[in-house]
Amino acid sequence: MDAVRVGVVGMGNMGTGHSKYLWEGKVKGARLTAVSDMDPKKADWVKTKLGEEVAFFSSAEEMFASGLVDAVIVATPHYDHPDCAIEAFKHGLHVLIEKPAGVYTKQVRLMNEAAAASGKVFSIMYNQRTNPLYRKLRDLITSGELGEVRRTNWIITNWYRSQSYYNSGGWRATWAGEGGGVLINQDPHQLDLWQWTIGMMPERVRAFCHFGKYRDIEVEDDVTAYVEYANGATGVFVTTTGEAPGTNRFEVTGDRGKIVIEDGKMTFWRLRVPEPEFNRTFAGVFGSPECWKCEIPVEGGNADHIGITQNFADAIRNGTPLIAPGEEGINGLTLSNAMYLSTWTDSWVNLPIDEDLFYEQLQERIRNSVYKKEVAEGKVVDLSGTYNS
């Protein structure tokens, strides 16, 4: 294959962004040949910005069946990601989906099964996996440099969003429109990195989601979650869109020290002797292991969205291993689903979650969603590909 012919589904902020860099030739071995969107007005934008050689389709299915694409990037609203991907696999196409993988794991599991049956390349736009800070953290943990993980703590509160942001689209921050709030919209990257860098998922979750705490919205805008792992480690995840100034601090403690990522740098407080060994041999009353503060050098830049798309194209053409396999999208979504379910049931949630119970609880909230009612009454037009984060 000389070049992968790529189509983009959904011409909102993300879709147009993907289309632009593909059209500009920033992904080697790939070229943009078609786009689709439910809004016919997008056809004029495509003609003006991308030229007549890029075909425009008013539906994804038409584009899939056109014979003009080998692979697609799915940049539609959250609920549509799995269904759109499954349809693309049916047409023998490779698929790169935007985050999140979907809204509920039951739906995403079907997508993963379709991907496996298709034999096609399947990736997800977890572009923060190309960030050298998190790649280095993963390396330090998986190599054993930090020792066994004992505690994780991520405070990610620099997602400030005003009421006017939420008012900018009737689908925003609604159960029927987006399927959630800060967890499903802003945090998918962090939820992915949380489990990807340490190499394990928790066994159970206890979470406290606050719905419409800071803004007039029906979904969560403030969350605190506590998790427990099989090895005895624990973790805390704190997030909100209602604080200013916010914090982005990820701390992982192991029996060989502590690593903190904050303000774009990594610091490793490394113990000269592992804590278990020190505890076993120390005979004094007060004392602690010798600790060295190390500023960890991190090389390279963040290839970001282009990097994931380049990797996707390389996987199709050359069999290059994927940075973000699409099947792994279910992991971060499992964490957010568990947090919702724990709050709704006011109890612990064991992983894997009860997918049927989660689906039932979600459907109840969708039925009562303001957005669903406004669509039914004809006050707003249903979702199109004009989605942005």
Among the listed residues 225, 223, 229, 197, the one whose alpha carbon sits nearest the alpha carbon of residue 210: 223
Given this model, what pLDDT does residue 197 score?
A: 98
Which ranges constitute the DSSP H helices of 246-295? 275-281
- 336-339: which pairs have CB atoms within 8 A and are 24 or more residues apart? 336/100, 336/180, 336/183, 336/184, 336/187, 336/188, 336/191, 337/104, 337/105, 338/205, 338/207, 339/183, 339/205, 339/207, 339/209, 339/223, 339/225, 339/237
CATH 3.30.360.10 range(s) for the chain read 130-298+332-353
Write out residues in the chain with pLDDT < 50, as ranges.
Answer: 383-389
Given this model, what pLDDT does residue 388 score?
A: 43
User: Can you count the helices (H) and strands (E) in the chain?
Assistant: 14, 15
- CA distance from start to end of the chain: 34
* 3-state SS, residue 382: coil
Among the listed residues 176, 190, 188, 248, the one whose alpha carbon sits nearest the alpha carbon of residue 219: 176
CATH 3.40.50.720 range(s) for the chain read 4-128+304-325
pLDDT tens readout for residues 24-66: 999 999 999 999 999 999 999 999 999 989 999 999 999 999 9
Tokens of 306: 């282009």
Q: How would you classify the pairing of strands 248-254 and 149-156?
A: antiparallel
Homologous superfamily of 130-298+332-353 in CATH? Dihydrodipicolinate Reductase; domain 2 (3.30.360.10)
3-state secondary structure 150-162: EEEEEEECCCCCC
Taking the model in full, what pTM does it have? 0.95
Exposed / middle / buried, residue 134 (Cβ in 10 Å: 0-12, 13-18, 19+): buried
Q: How many CA atoms does the CB half-sphere of 349 hold within 13 Å?
A: 26
Cα distances (angstroms) measured from residue 91 to each of 2, 220, 234: 21, 37, 44
Contact at 8 Å (CB) between 108 and 330?
yes
Given this model, what pLDDT does residue 301 score?
A: 87
Rounded CA gap, 227 and 200, in Å?
12
Rounded CA gap, 33 and 6, in Å?
6
pLDDT tens readout for residues 337-346: 999 999 999 9
* CATH code for the part of the protein at 4-128+304-325: 3.40.50.720
> Mutual orientation of helices 188-198 and 329-345 as an angle, nearest 10°?
110
Given this model, what pLDDT does residue 2 score?
A: 87
